[in-house]
Amino acid sequence: MGVREEIGVGLIGCGRAGMIHARNLVNKVPGARMEAVADVNGQAARNAAVELGLSKWHTDYRDLLKDDRVGAVIVVAPTNLHRDIVIDSAAAGKHVFCEKPMAMNAAECEEMIGACEEAQVKLQIGFMRRFDRGFMEAKRLLDEGLIGDLVLVKSHTRGPSKPQPWMYDLKKSNGILAEVNSHDIDAVRWFAGSDYDTLHAFGGNYRNPEVRDSHPDYYDSVVMSGTMKNGVQYVIDGAAYVQYGYDSHVELVGTKGLLHVGGHKSDSVELTVPGDGTRMGFVKSWTALFEDAYLAEDIAFIRAIQEDIQPLVTGLDGMMAVKAVEAGNASIAGKGILSL
Nearest CA among 118, 182, 172, 169 for reference residue 324: 182
Mean pLDDT of the chain: 92
What are the tens digits of pLDDT across the range 167-201?
Answer: 999 998 999 999 999 999 999 999 999 999 999 99
Q: With pLDDT > 90 as the criterion, what percentage of the chain qualifies?
A: 87
**DSSP codes of every residue in 276-312:** TEEEEEE---HHHHTHHHHHHHHHHHHHHHHHT---S
5 pLDDT band (50/70/90 cuts)? confident
**Tens digit of pLDDT for each residue in 122-151?**
999 999 999 999 999 999 999 999 999 999
Domains of the chain: 7-128+292-313 (3.40.50.720), 130-289+321-339 (3.30.360.10)
**pLDDT tens digit sequence for 205-245:** 999 999 999 999 999 999 999 999 999 999 999 999 999 88
Q: Which distant-in-sequence residues (6+ apart) come within 8 Å of 145 by Cβ? A: none
CA distances (Å), origin 189, targets 105, 184, 224, 235: 18, 9, 14, 12
Q: Is 18 buried (19+), middle (13-18) or exposed (0-12) by CB count in 10 A? A: buried
**Angstrom distance (rounded) from CA 110 to CA 102:** 10
Distances (CA, A) of 75 to 7, 78, 82, 183: 16, 9, 7, 17
Q: What pLDDT does 278 receive?
A: 53
Contacts 24+ apart (CB under 8 A), 183-186: 183/100, 183/127, 183/128, 183/129, 183/157, 183/248, 184/155, 184/156, 184/157, 184/236, 184/238, 184/250, 185/236, 185/321, 185/324, 185/325, 186/100, 186/127, 186/129, 186/130, 186/313, 186/317, 186/320, 186/321
Q: Are the C-beta atoms of 36 and 99 separated by less than 8 Å?
A: no
| Ranges of H-type helices in 163-311 | 170-173, 175-179, 182-192, 286-289, 291-307
